[in-house]
Amino acid sequence: MVKKIGLLLGPLVFFSLQYTPLFSLSNEALLVVALAAWMIVWWITEAVSISVTALLPLVIYPLSGLMSVNEVGANYGSSIVFLFFGGFVLALALEKVNLHRRIALSIIHRTGTTPNRVILGFMLATGFMSMWISNTASTVVMLPIALSVIQLLVQSDFEFTANEQRFSLSIMLGIAFSANAGGIATVIGTPPNSVLIGLLENEYNIQISFFKWMLIGLPFSLCLIGLIYFLFTQVLFSNTGIVFKTDEDVIAQQLQELGPLRRDEKHVLVVFALMVFFWVFRTLINSYIPTLGLTDTIISVGGAIALFSIPSDFRNDRFILEWKDTQRLAWGILILFGGGLALAKGMAQTGIVSAITDVISQADFNVLLTVSLLIALMLFMTELMSNVALVAVLSPVIAGIAMGLDIPIIYMLIPVTMASSCAFMLPMATPPNAIVFASGYIKVSQMARAGVLINLLAIVLLILLYQFALPLVF
């Protein structure tokens, strides 16, 4: 029923708003506001796929005469779209050769087998994997491993004790929450990061390199995962009374089943390492070879081409990746990036962002309080709707607010964008939350109780990031 209502309400809102005077906006600006409202309604109600909704500017802008098809279409072919495409291809390769599972098991194996160390191992492994592959994929990989550990390491064979239930809950929620937090660490870790990078590059000519984002994102992710771990093991789900079976080494057994590194795994590992190396040291390399003009997108697409070009079996004409493997690639997310960038372009071109800037500059707002409220608003809104869609719609508005407050726009946009990945309260907020909830080990009330505390801690961390860390890096 909600979808049916949303399907009709979206276009109805679009046509209604075009004839509603709003702050003396021009007809072109009203059109963009109306289109944004239509997209928001469809995104919230999921009346159609969020990626299909993102195609609306490609039709509405040219029909209204606001932009030509070529001008709008350029947003769907932005360099940021191809940066994420390369990241998706890398993730496909890691998953195809099962290297992501080997890396995860190796991390868990090295952290130890006491209850708290097992939880830490799962959280670190999930967080690390989420930096490079989708949060959903990293959760799907970790969940069966966690279920094996729960079933084989816990002492009781038939019914869990209270301590064992807390241990199980810690692992399950730890996986979901670490997947959400880990993606924040890199540009390709979660889609909202790339939406922001694209907006800054396209509209404001501000470039944030892969390495520079990691200088902010990685410490934040580690701090957040550390706080979650402390809360789980010391406050919410203490499991001091649990004893594991001493004759079961589940992780070592699963690692042994994988066998030694295969040729295709080695090839993917080399490409993965080279991509990360060039992403991290790109600026340094360009300073020594200025004519090279290396960019994060070039590295990403170059790595993708390599994964399609390196043979895994030269005699039989087999490669690490074949084009048919891209059937599993999240093409819809790439379209979603384009839709968000097109919407931002319309807001800037029609003067909406300038109007917001003027209104804010004339008001007497406390900067820190405004930033804090925007962070909290984004974080709790993303519990109910797509974080990519939220960032796509709100980023241009927040940029206008930042300019009105006379602060650098990245100081406000980065923490607010990061907040969109900090949804820990509800199963429907993120795919990792939904996946672990479906395991049957978690109740909604348990996730909400832990999640609301972590949401509040994330808000505090993001405010500290805004106040102290960002001025040091940018």
Tell me which of 100-104, 272-276, 346-350, 354-358 is least confident: 354-358
Asked whether residue 152 falls in the same domain as residue 43, the answer is no
Judgement on whether residues 37 and 87 belong to the same structural domain of the protein: no
117: nearest Cα among 183, 71, 167, 191: 167
Residues 115 and 20 in one domain: no
The residue segments making up the domain with residue 29 are 1-48
Of 277, 295, 328, which residue is a domain's last?
Answer: 328
Whole-structure pTM value: 0.87
Alpha-carbon span 164 to 299, nearest angstrom: 46
Q: Tokens at residue 279, please?
A: 């992403």
Asked, for residue 402, whether it belongs to a domain, the answer is no
Is residue 336 a part of any domain in this protein?
Answer: no
Q: What is the pLDDT of residues 135-194, one digit of tens each?
A: 888 888 888 888 877 776 554 455 566 777 788 888 899 999 999 999 999 999 998 998
For residue 416, is it within any domain? no
Q: Are residues 24 and 161 in the same domain?
A: no
Q: Within this chain, do residues 142 and 32 fall inside the same structural domain, yes or no?
A: no
Distance CA 468, CA 474 (A): 11
Q: How confident is the model at residue 388 (pLDDT cuts 50, 70, 90)?
A: confident
Domain termination residue (choose one: 280, 296, 328): 328
* Mean pLDDT, the chain, integer: 87
pLDDT score, position 416: 95
Whether 98 and 200 share a structural domain: yes
276 and 201 belong to one structural domain:
yes
Q: Are 411 and 359 in contact (CB under 8 A)?
A: no
Residue 145 in any domain: the answer is yes
Q: Is residue 462 part of a domain?
A: no
List of residues 6+ apart from 359 with CB closer than 8 A:
23, 404
**Count of CA atoms in the C-beta half-sphere (13 A) of 439:** 27
Judge whether residue 118 has pLDDT over 90. Answer: no
Q: Is residue 249 located within the same domain as residue 129?
A: yes
Whether 88 and 174 map to the same domain: the answer is: yes
Confidence of residue 246 (pLDDT cuts 50, 70, 90): very low
- Do residues 139 and 17 share a domain? no
What is the secondary structure of 310-358 as a DSSP string? SEEETTTTEES--GGGGGGS-HHHHHHHHHHHHHHHHHHHTTHHHHHHH
CA nearest 140: which of 455, 435, 441, 439? Answer: 435
In a domain? residue 192: yes
Using one digit for the tens of pLDDT, what is the confidence trace for 211-229? 999 999 999 999 999 999 9
- Of 303, 328, 353, which closes a domain? 328
Instruction: Give how many domains the chain has, as a whole number.
Output: 2
* 109 and 244 fall within a common domain: yes
Does 458 or 363 have the greater pLDDT score?
458
**Joined tokens for residue 321:** 């990746």
Residue 400 forms part of a structural domain? no
- Taking the mean position of all CA atoms in its chain, how far away is CA 79? 18
Distance from CA of residue 465 to its chain's centroid?
18
Indicate if 3 and 151 belong to the same structural domain: no
Residue 117 belongs to some domain of the structure: yes
**What share of the chain has pLDDT > 90, as a percent?**
43
Least confident of 294-298, 442-446, 467-471: 442-446
Q: Which residues are bridge partners to 311 per DSSP?
A: 319
